[in-house]
C-alpha cells in the first residue's frame, strides 16, 4: 500500500469521525423514556425492563447481582473469558428464529467503519496474525462475509440514540419507519452483534445509559448476542460512559470487550493529540513497531473477543 493511500485513509477517518455529535436524540425516544431507564447506570436489567421484550435469559429472570464497584471496570480484561449460559440460551433461540450462526453485525459510529474495522480479515496480505495469534484463523474463516460488509447501522456521527431513529435510516435499504438498528438486524439476521458507541452529543452523558440499554434489549429480543465495547477516550472527563458500558454488560450478562484496557499500555494510551482519534498503523500483529499504535489493537482484540464468543456459543474449537 502506498504512503499516499495511507495518508488518504487517515484523512478520511479524521474528517468523518469527531469526538462528539450535535445530533440530539429523537423526540420520539425522548418522549418514551421512562424514569427507570434514565436513572443510574447501576439499574438491573429487570428494573430497566429487560423482561418486557420477552428475552427469557438468566440475566433477566434471576435475582440481580450487586453492581460493579466504582472503577472496577478498569480491572476487567480487554477480552472476555467466556460466554454466559444466558447468552447461549439467547443464541439458540435466535437460531430457531432464523439467525445465521456465521454472521455478525456491527452497530456504531466512525470508529467502526469497514475501511478500518475488521474488513482486512477478508483481504489476504492486509493483515498478519503471526505465530502468536494463528489460533484466530478459524474465527476469521467462520465469519467470512461479515468483516468487510458495510453495516446499515454504522455511520460517522451515530450515537446510541441515532441508531434507534428512523430519521437516520438508509431509505434505499430500510423499511418506512424502521431504525438503522432494526434495519440491520432484519436484513442481515446476525447471531452476534458488536455494539461500539464512542460518539455522544453535547449534553448529559447519563442519557447514554437509557439509550444503550434500549439497543441491547432490542438485540437480545431478536435472539442475537451483543458484544458491548468500552472506548479509548475520556472526553467526558470522568470515564462515566465506560463505567456505564461495563455496568450494562454486567447487568445483562453479555460479553464485554474492554477496549480501554487494551490501549492503556500504549504511548498516550493509543490516542492522538486530540484525545479522541486512535493512533493508526496497519494490522500486522507480529510487527512490534506497528503494535505501538491503537488501530491494530482494536482489530486484534475485537477478533479475539469474537473468537471467545464463537467458541462459547458453538462449542467448536
Q: Quick check: helix, strand or coil at residue 47?
A: coil
Higher-pLDDT residue of 177, 9: 177
Task: Provide the β-strand partners of residue 256.
Answer: 228
Query: CA-CA distance, 126 to 281, in Å (whole number)?
Result: 11
What is the DSSP annotation of 258-311?
-HHHHHTTSGGGGB-TTSSSBP---EETT-TTGGGSHHHHHHHHHHHHHHHHHH
How far apart, in whole angstroms, are the C-alpha atoms of residue 178 and residue 186? 10
The overall longest dimension of the chain from CA atoms, in Å, is 56
Nearest residue to 248 via CA among 272, 280, 275, 216? 216
pTM, to two decimals: 0.85
Gyration radius (Cα) of the chain, Å = 18
Locate the DSSP E strands across the chain. Answer: 100-108, 127-128, 190-196, 225-229, 256-257, 283-284
Grid coordinates of 91: 443464541
Query: Could you identify the residue written with the cell 447506570?
Result: 41
- For the stretch 235-284, pLDDT in tens is 989 999 999 999 999 999 999 999 999 999 999 999 999 999 999 999 99
- Contact yes or no for 196/306 (Cβ under 8 A): no
Residue 27 CA to chain centroid, in angstroms?
24
Q: Hey, how many other C-beta atoms are within 10 angstroms of the C-beta on 7?
A: 10
> What percent of the chain is modeled with pLDDT above 90?
72
Alpha-carbon distance 145 to 132, whole Å? 25
Phi, psi (degrees; rounded to nearest 5) at 196: -135, 105
Q: Which residue's C-alpha cell is 439476521?
A: 189
235: exposed, middle or buried (Cβ count in 10 Å: 0-12, 13-18, 19+): middle
**Distance (Å, rounded) from C-alpha 90 to C-alpha 55?**
7
Q: What number is the average pLDDT over the span 147-167?
A: 95
Q: What's the pLDDT score for residue 251?
A: 97
Q: What is the DSSP letter of 154?
A: B
pLDDT tier for residue 30 given thresholds of 50, 70 and 90: very low
Instruction: Output the nine-digit C-alpha cell for 15.
Output: 474528517
Cβ proximity of 270 and 238 under 8 Å: no
Q: What is the DSSP string of 106-134?
A: EEESGGG-TTTSSGGGGSTTSEE-TTTTG
Per-residue pLDDT of 197-231, as tens digits, reads 876 655 576 789 999 999 999 999 999 999 999 99
* Average pLDDT of the chain to the nearest whole number: 85
Whole-angstrom distance, CA of residue 210 vs CA of residue 38:
5
Name all domains of the chain by residue range, CATH numbers in brackets: 3-314 (3.40.50.1110)
What is residue 79's DSSP assignment? S
What share of the chain in percent tops pLDDT 70?
78
DSSP 177: T
Amino acid at each position: 500500500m502506498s504512503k499516499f493511500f495511507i495518508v488518504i485513509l487517515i484523512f478520511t477517518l479524521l474528517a468523518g469521525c469527531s469526538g462528539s455529535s450535535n445530533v440530539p436524540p429523537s423526540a420520539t425516544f425522548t418522549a418514551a423514556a421512562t424514569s427507570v431507564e434514565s436513572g443510574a447506570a447501576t439499574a438491573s436489567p429487570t428494573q430497566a425492563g429487560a423482561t418486557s421484550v420477552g428475552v427469557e435469559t438468566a440475566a433477566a429472570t434471576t435475582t440481580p447481582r450487586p453492581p460493579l464497584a466504582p472503577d472496577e471496570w478498569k480491572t476487567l480484561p480487554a477480552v472476555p473469558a467466556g460466554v454466559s449460559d444466558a447468552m447461549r440460551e439467547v443464541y439458540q433461540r435466535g437460531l430457531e428464529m432464523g439467525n445465521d450462526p456465521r454472521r455478525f453485525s456491527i452497530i456504531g459510529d466512525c470508529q467502526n467503519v469497514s475501511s478500518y474495522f475488521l474488513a482486512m480479515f477478508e483481504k489476504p496480505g492486509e493483515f498478519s496474525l503471526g505465530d502468536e495469534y494463528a489460533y484466530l484463523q478459524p474465527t476469521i474463516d467462520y465469519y467470512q462475509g461479515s468483516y468487510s460488509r458495510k453495516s446499515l447501522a454504522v455511520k460517522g456521527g451515530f450515537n446510541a440514540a441515532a441508531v434507534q431513529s428512523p430519521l437516520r435510516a438508509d431509505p434505499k435499504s430500510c423499511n418506512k419507519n424502521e431504525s438503522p438498528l432494526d434495519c440491520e438486524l432484519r436484513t442481515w439476521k446476525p447471531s452476534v452483534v458488536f455494539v461500539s458507541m464512542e460518539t455522544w452529543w453535547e449534553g448529559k452523558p447519563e442519557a447514554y445509559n437509557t439509550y444503550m440499554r434500549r439497543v441491547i434489549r432490542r438485540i437480545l429480543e431478536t435472539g442475537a448476542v451483543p458484544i458491548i465495547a468500552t472506548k479509548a477516550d475520556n472526553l467526558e472527563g470522568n470515564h462515566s460512559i465506560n463505567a456505564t458500558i461495563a455496568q450494562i454488560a454486567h447487568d445483562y450478562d453479555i460479553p464485554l470487550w474492554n477496549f480501554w484496557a487494551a490501549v492503556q499500555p500504549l504511548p498516550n494510551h493509543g490516542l492522538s493529540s486530540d484525545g479522541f482519534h486512535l493512533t493508526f498503523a496497519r494490522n500486522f500483529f507480529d510487527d512490534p513497531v506497528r503494535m505501538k499504535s491503537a488501530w491494530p489493537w482494536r482489530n486484534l482484540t475485537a477478533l479475539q473477543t469474537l473468537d471467545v464468543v464463537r467458541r462459547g456459543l458453538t462449542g467448536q474449537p
